[in-house]
Amino acid sequence: MASSEEKVVAVIMVGGPTKGTRFRPLSLNIPKPLFPLAGQPMVHHPISACKRIPNLAQIYLVGFYEEREFALYVSSISNELKIPVRYLREDKPHGSAGGLYNFRDMIMEDSPSHIFLLNCDVCCSFPLPEMLDAHKKYGGMGTILVIKVSAESASQFGELIADPETKELLHYTEKPETFVSDLINCGVYVFTPEVFTAIQGVSSQRKDRANLRRVSSFEALQSATRSLPTDYVRLDQDILSPLAGKKQLYTYETSDFWEQIKTPGMSLKCSGLYLAQFRFTSPNLLASGDGTKNATFLGDVYVHPSAKVHPTAKIGPNVSISANARIGPGVRLISCIILDGVEIMENAVVTNAIVGWKSTIGRWSRVQASGDYNAKLGVTILGESVGVEDEVVVTNSIVLPNKTLNVSVQEEIIL
């Protein structure tokens, strides 16, 4: 078969309501993968990166959300990119590799030569075509995107050791107790279809072990928590660790940015990273203005075409303003995400904050935080339809939906 006809498919893991508690109160309104970063749904960034892969036939989103939650987005993005995007709902958690295996027949429908696997809650530049080229050179079963991080933070992730010359994966360990390496797994992979054989191998080994034991019911109860169901296969512990050092898996290092989007605070940081990337990939999405006819924009700012921003407002850097928001005279916005239908009255200031759908911020009010993206209250978050009255200051706080604040608060979670 000529290489020009080789097809590629991409699978993006979007997770589901089993998790997402760390993303409250924002995930109360919207599935986390559809939360906007830099004005585009979180999952849009990996999807549009897939568009750059040559001979891409299909994109699949795999998760536990109800189909209806993704129906609108999936149809609009398929039209926009002119590539079929399908949402596949898992009946129960199968693990990162098991989820892929569960839908193997659909994924293999186009007889692809390569399969990309991406995690939706990862923020990076997704250098997919470059990864694919490297993968073809290595000639293994899979290639993992990796990045060097500080030795202190490495232990929160999957650490790995790769051969500095051949880039072969030699050793892989998930969240180790002691320092192994400053190279970590970015959660972005490209595989040949052989990966399905490897996953099946793990399942059948488990079945054999279970049959060999035929343990007493007491023992079965004791070990039930430890022995995983045969169709639950984790990519990292069950596939990457055992195959390391067998000339099957290789690494491709990115020198760009990489973050994991686990909390609302991190989503604000990642929104800024994506806005900065738009400078190179889609400068047309960034707002510009010097305060003469329209507002003053500093640094990277996204404004939805339906939003209204008063010419005397000063916006940026790292600000994203969603549909139908209204930003009044003299408003100052710095490092924040303003969601649909928000109204911000004159001379209010918002900094290091996420302002939820249909919220209103009164005149001369301040919604602010220290901007420590990792701290629990390092970014102020207003849930849906929160009202902040005139001259009220909200600092380092989280406010749940439908609350009205008429007094200033600091370091509080308002339920």
Dist. CA 298–CA 296, nearest whole Å: 7
What's the whole-model pTM score? Answer: 0.92
Give the span between the Cα atoms of 109 and 356, in whole angstroms. Answer: 41
- Sequence-distant contacts of 212-217: CB under 8 A, at least 24 apart: none
Residue 188 near residue 96 (C-beta atoms within 8 A): no
DSSP per-residue codes, 30-41: S-GGGSEETTEE
Token pair for 322: 């969603």
Are the beta carbons of 94 and 233 closer than 8 angstroms?
yes
For residue 30, the one-letter residue type is I
**How many Cβ atoms sit within 10 Å of the Cβ of residue 291?**
12
Which one-letter DSSP state was computed for residue 308?
E
Contacts 24+ apart (CB under 8 A), 407-414: 411/377, 413/377
Rounded-to-integer distance, Cα 285 and Cα 182, Å: 35
Which residues have CB under 8 Å from 328's CB, separation 6+? 310, 313, 343, 344, 345, 346, 347, 348, 363
User: Which DSSP string corresponds to 171-220?
Assistant: EEEES-SS---SEEEEEEEEE-THHHHHHHHHHHHHHHHHHHH---HHHH
Strands 366-368 and 349-355: parallel
Instruction: Give DSSP secondary structure letters for 387-404.
Output: EE-TT-EEES-EE-TT-E
Q: Give pLDDT tens digits along the chain (415 positions).
A: 445 578 999 999 999 876 557 888 998 889 999 999 999 999 999 999 999 999 999 999 999 999 999 999 999 999 999 999 999 999 988 888 999 999 999 999 999 999 999 999 999 999 999 999 999 999 999 999 999 999 888 888 889 999 999 999 999 998 888 888 999 999 999 999 999 999 998 888 877 776 766 555 555 555 444 567 778 899 988 999 999 999 999 999 999 999 999 999 999 999 999 999 999 999 999 998 888 888 999 999 999 999 999 999 999 999 999 999 999 999 999 999 999 999 999 999 999 999 999 999 999 999 999 999 999 999 999 999 999 999 999 999 999 999 999 999 999 999 8
Q: Structural domains in the chain?
A: 3-260 (3.90.550.10), 268-403 (2.160.10)
Distance CA 41, CA 36 (A): 4
Contact 395, 412 (CB under 8 A): no
Paired strand residues for 172: 160
